[in-house]
Structure 1
Amino acid sequence: MVLIYFDFGRVRGAPVSVVTGFDQSERLIWAGRADAYAGGFAKLCAHTVPRLLDVAGVGPGTRMLDVGTGPGTAAAAGCDRGASVTAVDAEPGMVELARKAAPAAEVRVAVLPELPFSDATFDVVVGNFVLNHVGRPSAALAELLRVVRPGGRIALTIWSAPPAPGQALIGRAIKAAGAVRPPHLPAGLAAEDDFPRDESGLGALMGSAGLREAACETLRWDHRVDAEEWWSRGPAAGVAFGGAFVQSQTPEIRAEIKRYFDLFGAEFADGSGVLALPHAALLAHARR
């Protein structure tokens, strides 16, 4: 789900950690949000997990690392396939949830771009949307490459850009309400650290890290969710960047955002309060 900086000290072969403003913001955004995330957005992110594990070749006996495990969705799925699973996340609340979801896995607090594992420890490394939450994706990918064995696989998902219509709903409401971004929330990654969030951009990032046989595909689906649940367990609970943005506004602006959320959400409603929100994600995999 999300990884933020936590100082574990040096592990052999690990790069020197550099904390960006984006990383610091992520630390604040996700602190204490585990339960709200698990009850809302985690259900959305779970959609990509079966395909993620498929392309990574996770099966019985696979030594699998799930980076940014969140509430443990991918870790639990890996255990169900008979893999030997280790999972990490930087938010202690997420780690607690993941331990409950995947009791057979080893779950601990850890952070990119410094992981507390020796070189070539794992057969497979997966990260479900973790690259969306790091300030220097290339450094994070280099660390994943370090801990996977030669010939092992890395499989990652990220949200595509521009976003699919359902994914853009909260952002549209924020913009329509005239909300102003607070200074503690960065506009995005530094130009030298960012990359195009499309198939070619993610594939090129994998290739530039020295990975072989890189491939990328787009996954599309409609996330069906009750409108009030989507609001209350997302923006209203301060979850993710959009939630942090909403929570930083005055009560009047928050009310306006909610009004536009309801207005725009009606475009996706089925008449019973359930939204069918189109989403798109990129899935890339490669071999060391």
Structure 2
Amino acid sequence: MNATAFDTPFDEAERRAWAGRAAAYAGSFARLCAHTVPWLLDVAEVREGTRLLDVGTGPGGVAVAACGRGARVTAVDAEPGMAELAARAAPAAAVLRAALPRLPFADGAFDAVVGNFVLNHVGRPRAALGELRRVTRPGGRVAVTVWASPGGAGQALLGRAVAAAGVARPAHLPTLAPEEDFPRTPQGLTGLLNEARLTGAACELVGWDHRTTREEWWSGPAAGVATVGQILAGAPAAAVARIRAAFEALSEEFTARDGTLALPHVALLAWGTA
């Protein structure tokens, strides 16, 4: 979706960062983010016949799983490439382009609304949660995931490589405005759901080891995906080479006997009732 009056500088930067990178994300970090999908659908009480809205669908992992449960799925994403991939992956779903914090749906249009690692990418997370609640019918569930802080050791691998190479975060990469930020803890995310007037808000810390390869894990940032990808995209070739060398060295501590990586990750899974 094009920029709107509701966009913050953070939102605008996110749109630029993700433009044209759907395939790179699908081939790298999408499998990582898919790990929480069954848990997310469980706490959202998604079953056969549920009218579900999947916000920030990406390449469609949540939509595919929800269709497999017999839900009536609508999925949205701000990035056209993501919406195209999702439409192909989940042909039974209605896939649209739309962006938080304004969704093109009536109040109470859905039985359940989910956002898998979407709040990490919006400039106004409180307004975004309020919008998720608005389009959920009274008594319906809203469920979200975000990355926890502190995170798992695997989450820090690429950032550690950047630091070890002596490369600083570029000043043009915006951070969330302090007044919009919140603690990435169970208490912090539960508080955010309470502010959005979701009742019975609850949050769990969930962890897993993500199995991948060095090439797959490097491929996303090498194509400009995520913050590390934006750092690589703006760095000179020599700095990128230093980061890659540091990544290879640091990967040794996560390398299994078969040569794959086992990267510990920690996320927050939260839900509440509209």
TM score, norm. by length of structure 2? 0.98
Instruction: Structure 2: state its 5+ residue gaps.
Output: none
- Alignment gaps of 5+ in structure 1: 8-16
SS at match of 1:286: strand
Give the 3-state SS of the residue equivalent to 2:249 in structure 1: helix
Match in the other structure for 2:255: 269
Task: State whether residues 25 and 184 of structure 1, in contact with CA within 8 Å, keep that contact through their aligned partners in structure 2.
Answer: no
Contact 1:214–1:286 (CA<8 Å) still a contact in 2?
yes
Corresponding residue number in structure 1 for 2:177: 190
Residues 1:18 and 2:6 aligned together: yes
Tell me the distance in 1 between the aligned counterparts of 2:221 and 2:237: 13
Matches for 1:213-224 after TM superposition, within 5 Å: 213-224=200-211
Once residues 211 and 5 of structure 1 are traced to their aligned partners in structure 2, the CA distance between those partners, rounded to angstroms, is 29
Asked if residue 212 in structure 1 is aligned to residue 199 in structure 2, the reply is yes
The separation in 2 between residues aligned to 1:170 and 1:75, in whole angstroms, is 29
Deviations 1:181-218 (A, max 9, x none): 223211x2111000000100000000111110000001
- Partner SS state of residue 47, structure 2: coil
Name the structure 2 match of 1:12.
none
Q: Which amino acid aligns with 2:244?
A: K
Which string of whole-angstrom CA distances, capped at 9 and with x for unpartnered residues, describes residues 5-29 of structure 1? Answer: 644xxxxxxxxx4221111110111
RMSD: 1.1
User: 8 Å contact 1:6–1:111 — kept in the other structure?
Assistant: no
With over 3 angstroms needed to count, the CA separation of the structure-2 counterparts of 1:137 and 1:5, relative to structure 1, is: farther
Find out whether 1:140 has 2:135 as its counterpart: no
Q: Give the conservation status (yes or no) of the 8 Å contact 2:3–2:12.
A: no
Q: Could you tell me which of 260, 266, 273 is aligned with 1:280?
A: 266
Q: Confirm whether residue 166 of structure 1 aligns to residue 132 of structure 2.
A: no
Task: Select between 234-243 and 65-74 the one with higher mean Cα deviation.
Answer: 234-243
CA distance in 1, matches of 2:192, 2:212: 33
Partner of 2:58: 70
Alpha-carbon distance between aligned partners in 2 of 1:131 and 1:99, rounded to the nearest angstrom? 22
Mapped partners of 2:229, 2:109: distance in 1? 36
Identical aligned residues as a percent: 61
Matches for 1:1-288 after TM superposition, within 5 Å: 6-7=3-4, 17-186=5-174, 188-232=175-219, 234-288=220-274
Classify the secondary structure of the residue corresponding to 2:173: coil
Show the counterpart of 1:10. none
TM-score between both structures, scaled by the size of structure 1: 0.93
Distance 1:182 1:166 in 2: 23
Offset at residue 285 of structure 1 (A): 0.4
Distance in 2, matches of 1:78 and 1:284, equals: 18
Q: 1:39 deviation in Å?
A: 0.9
Give the Cα separation in 1 of the matches to 2:257 and 2:61: 31
Bigger mean CA offset, 62-71 vs 160-169: 160-169
1:249-272 CA distances to partner (integer Å, 9 max, x unpaired)? 110110000011011111100143
Number of aligned pairs? Answer: 274
